[in-house]
Chain A
Amino acid sequence: MLLLCALASILVVVLVGLFVFIQGYPLLTKTGFFSFLTGRDWLPGEGVFGILPMVAGTLAITLGALVIGVPLGVTTAIFLAEYAPGIIALWTRRAVELLAGIPSVVYGLFGMTVIVPLVRYIAVNWFGNLLAPEMKAGYGILTASLVLGIMILPTIVSVSEDALRAVPQAYKEGSYALGVHHWQTVYHNILPAARTGIMASVVLGMGRAIGETMAILMVAGNAAALPTSIFSPVRTLSGNIGLEMSYASGEHAQALFATGVVLFLVIMILNGIALLIARKGANDR
């Protein structure tokens, strides 16, 4: 009985993979996996399904989120592991946990009403002459990256902090004993020793960013076209499903399931990489 409970997660993962794959398979064989992935046009009405714009949009937003989230997250992790006095560390950690608990639709609402107008202001007033009209709405890669960068902070902070704390105390003491200062010790000894764990945190943050749907739907603009600047409105793979699944049928629905298959595969590969990194880190010690 307990074994059955324990097997539940295996069962669920297999069922998820199976059902999403079965539904997406007919379309994938019809258009071919590769041309589905590299097709530039997404025209459900005419039966043309290519997800290159969504792949590009997902990549751009994820990259932007990492550019914002990783430096800030890792630095906050260093603060928590090395610099913060006890009580401040405790409250900062709880603030980060709370940040993880805020529903993504709330992030989306915040993005729509605060960050979108901000980006719109920048686009209109600073780059007004350079940008096409659809890029001046404030919805696009930059906005989505800003929102998502904040959303992945908790993952990056907590995994990186664990990695920094796992560095043996002797590394630090050895460095101090040689008269090396605090920051130099952190920079030259602790960070390199924790690098595999920090890399794992980046990969996990990436997975989080790629899978996020609601907040992105609310701020990315959702145009199924290849982006040309960081102000371009884009659609992500997950957004594509969330946006059209409610009314799709037939081949269109299959194409959305096929999008799900791509998303599923990407996440599984990322998980595999994170696991490999973690294992390598364990072997290095």
Chain B
Amino acid sequence: MTVPLQEKLAKWFIWCAALLTVSFLVLIIGYIMVRGLGKLSVSFFLENPRKMGSAGGIFSPLLGTVYFTLLTMILAMPVGVGAAVYLSEFTHEGPLVRMIRFFTDALAGIPSIVIGLFGFSFFVVFLRPLTGGWSILSGSLTAFCMILPIIIRVTEETLHSIPRSYREGSQALGVSKWDTVMHVVLPSALPGIFTASLLGIGRVIGETAALLLTLGGSLLIPTSIFSPARTLSMHLYLVAMETGEFSVAFAAAAVLVLVILLLNLGGYYLVQRLFKRMAGAQ
């Protein structure tokens, strides 16, 4: 085989592989949309599920998803951002920081079903008086453990990308370290922190395995953070596996995919605008 032919073949092969990868995405999203979009209607969103979810709408799982996601983010954002600020602003590379990094990476690798087992034995059983057993709170605390690494990592990367001159300029004016972080560093890191939260939300919405063991899976409308609930992805799984009613499952999948698309594309757009606003203000 001559060299130019070999080069051509390799190039052709590589383009095909990339095309195949992208086509999986298009195929999956396209298929889910084609089979799911038709069933979506206002009443599908506003009706409660009937007959274990095989009939009716998705109101209570939708509400459960919103409550659960909100609570998880309220728990995870302060801790994750706090950890990132500590790691990048208040300490130097050392054994402790290396250990924190190692454990954060390790946590990101632990399968969600194992975190679910932990959430079940710790939050659901051991802390039952505080969390109410299977409840939105137990589920959120479990999901908190899962998304902590993402939030820490993305926020830390953002903090590292902020020029040193910002911090030095502020401190040269006699501003304390804490106030520099609060009024100079964190505001300029806002787009990155926003991205971190969007990634966290995406992960939480898609999560199912750990929630099967901690959230309870109730179809009733949740009344407080101590009541059990189910999320849309749980609903999809339970409906598909227990009732075999694929039209509801596809509709739920279409809603999930739409939300993920919105988070990805809309989030990207918003971050761009935030960056521009910040650039304009400086």
Please report A residues at the B interface, Cβ cutoff 8 Å.
1-10, 12-13, 15-16, 19-20, 22-23, 71-73, 75-76, 78-80, 82-84, 92, 94-99, 101-110, 112-114, 150, 153, 157, 181-184, 186-187, 204, 207, 210-214, 217-218, 238, 241-242, 245-246, 256-257, 260, 263-264, 267-268, 270-271, 275
Interface set, chain B 225-250, CB cutoff 8 A to A = 233-234, 236-237, 240-241, 246, 249-250
User: Main SS of chain A's interface residues?
Assistant: helix
Q: Provide the residues of chain B in CB contact with A204, threshold 8 Å.
A: 109
Stretch at the interface among B46-54, B159-167, B252-260, B271-279: B252-260
Docked complex Cα distance between A83 and B104 (Å): 34
| Residue tally, chain B, CB below 8 Å to A | 82
Q: Please report the C-alpha to C-alpha distance between residue A163 and residue B264 in the assembled complex, in whole angstroms.
A: 25
Cβ distance A188 to chain B, nearest Cβ, rounded Å: 12
A113 cross-chain contacts in B, Cβ below 8 A:
31, 35, 246, 250
Bound: A19/B241 CA distance, A: 29
Main secondary structure of the interface of B (DSSP, over half): helix
Closest chain A residue, CB of each to CB of B210: A213
Do A110 and B118 touch across chains, with their CB atoms under 8 A apart? Answer: no
CB–CB A5/B233 < 8 A: no
Interface assignment of B42: CB less than 8 Å from any CB of chain A:
no
Most chain A CB atoms below 10 A, which of B126, B209, B212: B209
Using a CB-CB cutoff of 8 Å, which residues 192-208 of chain B contact chain A? 202, 205-208
**Is B17 touching A72 in the complex (CB atoms < 8 A)?**
yes
* Set B6, B85, B99, B109: member contacting A207, Cβ < 8 A: B109
Known: A9-B149, A10-B103, A80-B18. Contact between A211 and B113, CB under 8 A?
yes
A106 touches B20 (CB 8 A): no
B15 contact set on A, CB distance < 8 A? 79, 83
Query: B122 and A15: CB pair below 8 A?
Result: yes
**Measured between alpha carbons, how far is A246 from B211 in the docked complex, in Å?**
11
- Could you list which residues of chain B lie within 8 angstroms of chain A, going by C-beta atoms? 3-4, 6-7, 10-11, 13-15, 17-18, 20-22, 24-25, 28-29, 31-32, 35, 78-83, 85-87, 90, 99-100, 102-107, 109-118, 120-122, 126, 145, 148-149, 152, 202, 205-209, 212-213, 233-234, 236-237, 240-241, 246, 249-250, 253, 256-257, 260-261, 263-264, 268
Which of A8, A13, A72, A84 is within 8 Å of B110, CB to CB? A13
Shortest CB distance B264–A (Å): 6
Q: Contact between A16 and B115 (Cβ–Cβ < 8 Å)?
A: yes
Distance in angstroms between the alpha carbons of A157 and B17 in the assembled complex: 12
| Distance from A267 Cβ to chain B, minimum over Cβ atoms (Å) | 5
Closest to B24 in A: A150
- Name the contact of A103 in the complex, choosing from B35, B208, B246, B264 (C-beta under 8 A): B208
Establish whether residues B260 and A98, one from each chain, have CB atoms under 8 Å apart when the complex forms: yes
Q: Which of B78, B90, B145 contacts A16 (CB 8 A)?
A: B145
30 A-B pairs within 8 Å (CB atoms) are namely: A2-B85, A4-B82, A5-B86, A6-B83, A8-B148, A9-B149, A10-B99, A10-B100, A10-B103, A13-B107, A13-B110, A15-B122, A16-B107, A19-B122, A19-B126, A20-B121, A71-B17, A72-B17, A76-B18, A82-B14, A94-B264, A103-B205, A103-B260, A105-B237, A106-B253, A109-B246, A113-B35, A183-B11, A245-B213, A267-B109
Q: Which residue in A12, A75, A82, A238 is a CB contact (below 8 Å) of B145?
A: A12
In the complex, A271 Cα to B19 Cα: how many Å? Answer: 31
